């Protein structure tokens, strides 16, 4: 039987998820032997944009150029796997998605580039907003172990099983003191998808939410607790928007928090 054909692509991001594939130093050669890598621009020359069984795509979609590339990948790929918080949620560059691009372009590059097609761009968005995504591996960056586990499952014809619960669960397993309740820190563990082993809280630092929201995240309750601990609604909204774009007022106002009106 032929080896499964795979490809790794990067859209708009820091390239950290691709780098974390290359960071599988102990497994890289074995992994490469199990598959036929048709395209991995960051890691090899002689790439071929042909049909593949699995395409891994990191980064957000932030321009027509990105979008056309993504559509092409989707057409050529049996399975399309989104890698990382950029591909799944937009990541840090999405935190200003509430500001029109023209405004930012003019601020950053000057008004003269507004008509230059080379500077065409739009709000960074996750892959699933544009194409069917077969599986998402979150993380900023993805965890190497989860990538390897996912590849192993995929090569056996299964979709991977990764955590669907919140960072708090990981944190309890580590027997950490609760930074949110006990110390009153701005910890986003309760609304963030687990799988990192609660890296930040284990280092005495609050979860920054880099893995994006957990399924059915209870933002309103998190807001309630943080307001109780003395954070302002502006601070809370800002922190919650660092990795997945500004949280919607709808998500935040599912409950009425102590008469505080959203700004």
Partner 1 sequence: MSRTITVEHLCRVEGHGGVTVELEGGAVKSVRMDIYEGLRFFESFLKRVPWADIPEVACRICAICSGVHNVVASLAIEDAFGVRVTEQVRLLRRLFVHGGNIESHALHIFLLALPDLVRPRCNSIIELAEDLPDPARIGLDLKKCGNEIQDLISGREIHPCNTTLGGFGRVPEKDVFKYLRDRLEAALENTRALVPLVGGLELPAYLTAEGTFIGIKPSGEAYGYMGDRIAASDGTVTDVRDYRRVTNEYTVPYSHAKFSAYKGKPYTVGALARVNLFGDLLHDGAKTTAGRLGFTTPVHNIFYNTVAQFIELVDSIEDSIQTIGAILADYAPDEPTPRIRPKAGRGTAGLEAPRGTLYHSYAFDADGRCTDVDIVTPTCQNLAAMERDIRAMVEANPAFSDEEIHFHAEMIVRAYDPCISCSVHLLNLGA
Query: Under the rule (CB under 8 A), what is the footprint of partner 1?
Result: 10-20, 22-23, 25-26, 28-29, 32, 37, 40-47, 59-60, 62-63, 65-66, 91-93, 95-96, 99, 104-105, 107-110, 112-113, 116, 118-119, 121, 124, 140-141, 144, 199-200, 202-205, 208, 210, 235, 238-239, 242
- The DSSP result for 127-150, as a single string, is GGGTS--SEEE-BTTB-HHHHHHH
CA distance 6 to 73: 11
CA distance 17 to 31: 16
In the complex, the smallest distance separating the C-beta of residue 256 from partner 1, rounded to whole angstroms, is: 26
In the complex, the smallest distance separating the C-beta of residue 235 from partner 1, rounded to whole angstroms, is: 7
Report CA 116 to chain centroid distance, whole Å. Answer: 30
Q: Which is nearer to partner 1, 26 or 249 (CB)?
A: 26
In the complex, the smallest distance separating the C-beta of residue 251 from partner 1, rounded to whole angstroms, is: 19
Q: Which is nearer to partner 1, 159 or 173 (CB)?
A: 173
Q: Which is nearer to partner 1, 53 or 97 (CB)?
A: 97
Q: For residue 88, give every residue at least 6 positions away whose Cβ sits within 8 Å of its Cβ, in sequence order, or none.
A: 82, 126, 127, 128, 136, 137, 138, 212
Q: Which is nearer to partner 1, 43 or 220 (CB)?
A: 43
Give me the count of residues in the chain: 263
Tokens linked to 137: 């591996």
Q: Which is nearer to partner 1, 134 or 237 (CB)?
A: 237
In the complex, the smallest distance separating the C-beta of residue 179 from partner 1, rounded to whole angstroms, is: 10
90 neighbors 244 (Cβ within 8 angstroms): yes
In the complex, the smallest distance separating the C-beta of residue 119 from partner 1, rounded to whole angstroms, is: 7
In the complex, the smallest distance separating the C-beta of residue 221 from partner 1, rounded to whole angstroms, is: 22
Q: Which is nearer to partner 1, 9 or 219 (CB)?
A: 9
CA distance 248 to 93: 17
CA distance 92 to 54: 26
């Amino acid at each position: 039987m032929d080896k499964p054909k795979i490809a790794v692509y990067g859209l708009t991001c820091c390239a950290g998820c691709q780098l974390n594939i290359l960071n599988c130093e102990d497994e890289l050669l074995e992994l490469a032997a199990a598959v036929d890598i048709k395209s991995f621009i960051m890691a090899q020359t002689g790439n071929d944009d042909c049909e593949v069984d699995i395409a891994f795509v990191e980064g957000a979609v932030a321009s027509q150029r990105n979008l056309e590339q993504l559509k092409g990948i989707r057409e050529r790929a049996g399975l399309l796997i989104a890698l990382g918080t950029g591909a799944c949620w937009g990541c840090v560059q999405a935190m200003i998605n509430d500001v029109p691009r023209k405004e930012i372009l003019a601020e950053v590059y000057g008004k003269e580039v507004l008509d230059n097609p080379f500077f065409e761009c739009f709000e960074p968005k996750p892959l699933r907003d544009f194409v069917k995504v077969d599986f998402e591996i979150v993380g900023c960056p993805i965890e190497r172990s989860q990538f390897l586990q996912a590849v192993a499952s995929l090569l056996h014809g299964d979709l991977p099983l990764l955590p669907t619960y919140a960072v708090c669960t990981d944190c309890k397993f580590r027997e950490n003191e609760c930074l949110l309740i006990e110390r009153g820190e701005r910890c986003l563990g309760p609304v963030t998808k687990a799988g990192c082993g609660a890296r930040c809280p284990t280092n005495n630092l609050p979860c920054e939410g880099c893995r994006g929201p957990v399924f059915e995240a209870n933002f309103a309750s998190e807001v309630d607790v943080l307001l109780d601990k003395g954070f302002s609604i502006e601070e809370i909204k800002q922190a919650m928007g660092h990795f997945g774009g500004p949280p919607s007022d709808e998500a935040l106002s599912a409950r009425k928090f102590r008469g505080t009106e959203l700004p």
